[in-house]
Amino acid sequence: MLQAALDLAVASGMETRWPAFGPGQRQLAGSVRSMTARPDARRIKYRQGSISSSSTMPACFSRRKTNEIIVIFLALLIHIHKMDTEIMNNTNDRIQLGRNLLSFIFTTGLALGGIVFIAYCLRIGYFPQGISFGDSVLFIFLAISFGFLYSLFVLCLTSLGITARPLWHGLQKTKIFLSKKLKKSPANEEQIAFTIEKPEAPLYILAAFGIFFIVLLTHFEWKGIATLVFCSFICASMWSKHVQNAHSIHLLGQKDDLLESESGHLTQLKRMQPVFILMIILTPLTFGGVTGAFLDGAMRMSNLRIDSAVVYIKEPYSTFMRENGLAGEKSNFGNEYLKYSNVNVLFQGIGKNVVVEKDIGKDVISLPIPAESIFIVKAKKK
């Protein structure tokens, strides 16, 4: 289209030039030929003693208007071309950003899924053989499952700690009062105090789920309950410090001229922000004693672990179960298979073997069985 417009400009008597402004870029410049004829000019021709006149005004007027329209048209084409180039550049940048983001998510998910997978294998004491590259998709889903469960738990636990603000502040005032009464600290010495942020209404709903998580994970064991309640206090304190630091950063950022001390304080506040978030994430995982439960939950969500299943085991592996005091039942799969109920399938779906576990009194036996020698049926809850 642009070339056709240039041909039209040349045919109409315009001079064109293309000065270079950069690689791959040219700017069209057009100039209209000077037309010296006035609108009322007439050429007088004398032919055989008679005067004949022909006006040139309409032709001059038409050519001038045509040139002006062509110049405007070419300028519009150049503007549209520049807009298209900018749009394409922005689109390419966004596509590249999307590719980089997807690559980061895939790499991070694969790494986190691998860590969760290895931690679970260490937990059950079994490492599968025959893992293929296609299993990497399962690793990503495993990372998503673990990340979802643990993030929800940390969110609910932190909300529980924030909603328990009166309890923490009451304990703090009691501690300060007793310290002064027992004269363990001078009366004029300032006590190191903490401030938990005031909870908002939605946090009470999340706090209720936090209580549910604690009861579910500890089974009313007081030591576990006390540990998780303390973790909720740590998470609430770290979140409150994060919010308070963000407010201080906002106030300092509004100042035009910062003193050297204020600039250093602002830098320190910004450096501490990710530390608080990291402590919130790691505290329940490190001190809460819930890592194993969330590993099991992530494996269940990924369908790599099945609890209370019904399995049909083929000889000679059913003989091993019988030798360890677990007698199976007859099954409809044939004489080679025995049926076992309420069996935990610790690992299946990756590699060549399936790992089963069964409680026998105070003992627990686990056995890796080739996948072709076992059938797994999920028990339906009534």
Q: Where are the alpha helices (DSSP H) in the chain?
A: 2-11, 57-124, 136-163, 165-181, 201-218, 222-253, 260-287, 291-301, 317-323
Please compute the mean of the pLDDT values over residues 284-302 and round it to a whole number. Answer: 84
User: Are 19 and 29 contacting, i.e. CB atoms less than 8 angstroms apart?
Assistant: yes
Task: Compute the distance between CA of residue 351 and CA of residue 263 in angstroms, rounded to an integer.
Answer: 56
Q: Which two tokens stand for residue 19?
A: 């000065």
The single residue listed with the structure tokens 């996948």 is 371
| 20 or 244, which is more confident | 244
In this predicted structure, what is the pLDDT of residue 219? 79
SS3 373: helix
Q: Which two tokens stand for residue 281?
A: 């994430």
- Is the confidence at residue 286, as pLDDT, over 70? yes
**Residue type at 29?**
A
**Residue type at 251?**
L
**Residue type at 329?**
E
pLDDT tens digit sequence for 242-274: 999 999 998 888 888 878 888 888 899 999 999
Please compute the mean of the pLDDT values over residues 298-307 and round it to a whole number. Answer: 87
- Is the confidence at residue 31, as pLDDT, over 60? no
In this predicted structure, what is the pLDDT of residue 147? 86
Task: Compute the distance between CA of residue 352 and CA of residue 285 in angstroms, rounded to an integer.
Answer: 31
- Is the confidence at residue 42, as pLDDT, over 70? no
- Is the confidence at residue 6, as pLDDT, over 80? no
Confidence of residue 232 (pLDDT cuts 50, 70, 90): very high
Sign of CA dihedral 319, 321, 326, 332: negative
| 159 or 218, which is more confident | 159
pLDDT tens digit sequence for 161-187: 999 999 988 888 888 888 777 765 555
- Is the confidence at residue 41, as pLDDT, over 60? no
- Is the confidence at residue 56, as pLDDT, over 80? no
pLDDT tens digit sequence for 94-130: 677 677 767 776 777 777 788 888 888 888 888 887 7
User: Are 310 and 339 contacting, i.e. CB atoms less than 8 angstroms apart?
Assistant: yes
Work out the percent of the chain whose per-residue pLDDT is above 70. Answer: 72
Q: How far apart are the first and last CA of the chain?
A: 73
Please compute the mean of the pLDDT values over residues 284-313 and round it to a whole number. Answer: 86
- Is the confidence at residue 355, as pLDDT, over 60? yes
Confidence of residue 64 (pLDDT cuts 50, 70, 90): low
How many other C-beta atoms are found inside a 10 Å radius of the C-beta of residue 318?
24
Lowest mean pLDDT among 16-30, 292-306, 312-326: 16-30
The single residue listed with the structure tokens 């998780």 is 228
How many other C-beta atoms are found inside a 10 Å radius of the C-beta of residue 368?
16
Bridge partners (DSSP) of residue 43 are: 54
In this predicted structure, what is the pLDDT of residue 17? 45
User: Are 280 and 158 contacting, i.e. CB atoms less than 8 angstroms apart?
Assistant: yes
Arithmetic mean of pLDDT over the chain: 76
